[in-house]
Amino acid sequence: MTTAPSATRTALVTGAAVGLGRTIADRLARAGDRVALLDVDAGRLAQAEEELCGEGHDVVAVTCDVRDRDAVEAAVAQVVDRWGGLDVAVSNAGVAGARLLLDMDAEEWHRVVDINLTGTFHVITAAARAMIATGGGGAICCISSGAALFARPAAGHYCTSKAGVLMLAKALALETGRDGVRVNVVTPGLVDHGYREGLGEFVPAAYAQMMRDNTPMGRLGTADEVADAVQFLCSAQAEFVTGAVLSVDGGSSAGKYTVPWG
Ligand SMILES: NC(=O)c1ccc[n+]([C@@H]2O[C@H](COP(=O)([O-])OP(=O)(O)OC[C@H]3O[C@@H](n4cnc5c(N)ncnc54)[C@H](O)[C@@H]3O)[C@@H](O)[C@H]2O)c1
C-alpha cells in the first residue's frame, strides 16, 4: 500500500509551474512528499522549483510537453531513477479555448484536445506502468473540469477533452485496480487561482460573475479547495476509492441553479 502516510512518497504533478498545478505541487511537497514538477514552461517551472527548494522540500523540475509521449515516458523514468518509484501522479496540465465549433479549424481543435486528453493519456498510462513495475500500488488523480459534465458554447473542444478525461480515468481504473493503482478525477468549477490577471483571457469578468450567480454556494472556488480534494483522493483515507469523480464546484453540477418555482 504505497499511498500510506508513513513512508515518504514520490509524486509528480503536470502543469506544475503555475495555477492549480502549482498549488497542488506545493500542497504535496509541504505534506512531505518528494515532488517532480512537470511543465512545458521552463522559466516558470525553474522559479517554482527554486521557491519550493528554498522552503527545504525535495522537488525536481522536469521540462516536458505532455503531448510528447516519449518525453513523458522519459520524465517518469527520470523520477523513478531519482527516487526509486512513483506513488502519486496528478495529471493537471491543460489549456482552455474560446471558439465556436462551427468556426473551429483543426489546429485549434488539436491544440486543446492534444494537451488535455491525449496528454492525460500519456501521463497516466506512463505513471501507472511505473507504479506497477516498481511493485504496484499508487494513486493517480486527473484534473478534469465541470465542463466535462455540462456543455457550454464556444468550448466544445474543451468540454469534449475534459469529458474524455473522465472516461479515460475510469477505464484505467478498471485495468489497474488489481495492481492497487487507483485512478480518480476532480472536476473543479471555475477557480480564481490568482496566477492570471482578471482570471485570464478566456474568462471575462461577466462570465465569472455569471458563474458566481449560478453556483449554489455563490462564489468561485479556490486552488486550495481543489488541492484538498486531490490530497484526499491520493491519500490512505481514499484507499478504496477508484474510478470516482469528485466535483469541487460549490454545487454547480448538482443541477441548474434557478429561482424557485412558484
Ligand atoms: N482554473 C480553473 O478555473 C479551472 C477549472 C476547471 C478545470 N481546470 C483545469 O485545471 C487545470 C489547471 O488549470 P489552471 O487554471 O491552473 O491553468 P493555467 O493556465 O494557470 O496553468 C496550466 C499549466 O499547464 C502548463 N501546460 C500547458 N500546456 C502544457 C503542455 N503541453 N505540457 C505541459 N504543461 C503544459 C502551463 O505551462 C501552465 O503552467 C487544467 O487542466 C484546467 O483545464 C481549471
Q: How many Cβ atoms are within 10 Å of 197's Cβ, its own excluded?
A: 7
Ligand 1 atom with the shortest distance to the CA of 114: 31
Give per-residue pLDDT as tens, 32-89. 999 999 999 999 999 999 999 999 999 999 999 999 999 999 999 999 999 999 999 9
**Residue tagged 518525453 (cell numbers):** 71
**Residue tagged 523520477 (cell numbers):** 79
Residue of 97, 77, 236, 242 lying closest to 176 (CA atoms): 242
Q: Please check the confidence at residue 1 and state whether its pLDDT lies above 70.
A: no
**How does strand 59-63 pair with strand 245-248?**
unpaired
Q: Which residue did the predictor score with more confidence, 223 or 4?
A: 223
Q: Which long-range contacts (CB under 8 A, 24 or more apart) does 130-133 make?
A: 130/76, 130/77, 130/79, 130/80, 130/85, 130/86, 131/2, 131/85, 131/86, 131/87, 131/89, 131/176, 131/179, 131/181, 132/176, 132/179, 132/181, 133/80
User: What CA–CA distances, in Å, run from 143 to 46, 107, 119?
Assistant: 23, 23, 12
Q: How much distance in Å is there from the Cα of 115 to the middle of ligand 1? A: 10
Ligand 1 atom with the shortest distance to the CA of 93: 24
Q: How confident is the model at residue 194 (pLDDT cuts 50, 70, 90)?
A: low
Radius of gyration of the chain (CA): 18
Domains located in the chain, CATH noted = 10-248 (3.40.50.720)
Q: Please check the confidence at residue 196 and state whether its pLDDT lies above 50.
A: yes
Give per-residue pLDDT as tens, 90-140. 999 999 999 999 999 999 999 999 999 999 999 999 999 999 999 879 999
The answer to whether the CB of 181 falls within 8 A of the CB of 125 is no
Q: How much distance in Å is there from the Cα of 95 to the middle of ligand 1? A: 5
Q: Please check the confidence at residue 198 and state whether its pLDDT lies above 90.
A: no
Q: How much distance in Å is there from the Cα of 188 to the middle of ligand 1? A: 12
Give per-residue pLDDT as tens, 145-175. 999 999 999 999 999 999 999 999 999 999 9
User: What CA–CA distances, in Å, run from 178 to 2, 104, 131, 175, 240?
Assistant: 14, 41, 12, 8, 12
Q: Please provide the average confidence, as pLDDT, over all residues in the chain.
A: 93
Q: Which residue intervals of 137-258 are DSSP H helices?
A: 156-176, 205-214, 223-233
Q: How much distance in Å is there from the Cα of 39 to the middle of ligand 1? A: 10
At 25, list the grid cell: 505541487
Does the annotation mark 158 as catalytic? yes
Which residue among 158, 195, 207, 257 is the active-site one?
Answer: 158
Q: Which residue intervals of 84-155 are DSSP H helices?
A: 106-113, 119-133
**How does strand 181-188 pair with strand 245-248?**
parallel
- Give the H/E segment covering residue 178: none
Q: How confident is the model at residue 3 (pLDDT cuts 50, 70, 90)?
A: very low
Ligand 1 atom with the shortest distance to the CA of 41: 37
For residue 118, count CB atoms less than 10 angstroms from its CB and return exposed for 0-12, middle for 13-18, buried for 19 or more.
middle
The answer to whether the CB of 23 falls within 8 A of the CB of 228 is no
Residues with CB under 6 A from ligand 1: 14-15, 17-21, 39-41, 65-67, 92-95, 115, 119, 143, 145, 188, 190-191, 193, 195-196
